[in-house]
């Protein structure tokens, strides 16, 4: 487990092996340049799967990752952007996501009726035999 030294001398919350969603509010993200700077800083951390902008003013970052330390993420954004506030930390339930994906991917099942009449039945073709007779066989002139 990683330890964060700075304004807090306690370990951050890190759930290894489980996806977690961290929502951080950064009020200083008021233009596209600041937003891209914050996104680059977030994505540079190991274990980050996705990062999106949320909120009415697009001032919240939602980070989904596996083994991402929330305190390290918050302090990194404080160094890069200034004021940051950790809003929530939740465990993402993978089963619900998989069920949603399966529901979306389920194709409609249609039954197909194959024709069973005798008009569509085929027999095995018989091999053809050719008999070849040499026309010059009876006309032997050697004797």
Residue 16, both tokens:
């290894």
Question: How sure is the predictor about 18, in pLDDT bands with cuts at 50, 70 and 90?
Answer: confident
pLDDT tens digit sequence for 78-95: 999 999 999 999 988 766
pLDDT tens digit sequence for 110-124: 666 655 555 555 666
Q: How far is CA 18 from the centre of its chain?
A: 16
Q: Is the pTM of this model over 0.85?
A: no
Please name every residue paired with 106 in a beta bridge, in sequence order, or none if there are none. none
Task: Give the per-residue pLDDT at 9.
Answer: 39
pLDDT tens digit sequence for 69-82: 999 999 999 999 99
- On whether the CB atoms of residues 69 and 2 are closer than 8 A, the answer is yes
């Amino acid at each position: 487990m990683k330890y964060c030294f700075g304004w807090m001398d306690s370990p951050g919350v890190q759930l290894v092996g489980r996806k977690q969603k961290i929502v951080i509010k950064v009020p200083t993200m008021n233009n596209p340049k600041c937003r891209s700077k914050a996104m680059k800083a977030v994505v540079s951390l190991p274990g980050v799967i996705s990062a999106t902008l949320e909120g009415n003013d697009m001032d919240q970052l939602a980070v989904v990752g596996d083994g991402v330390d929330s305190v390290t993420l918050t302090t990194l954004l404080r160094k890069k952007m200034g004021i940051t506030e950790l809003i929530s930390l939740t465990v993402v339930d993978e089963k619900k996501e998989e069920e949603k994906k399966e529901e979306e991917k389920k194709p409609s099942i249609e039954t197909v009726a194959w024709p069973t009449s005798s008009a569509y039945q085929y027999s095995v073709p018989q091999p053809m035999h050719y008999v070849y007779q040499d026309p010059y066989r009876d006309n032997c002139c050697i004797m």
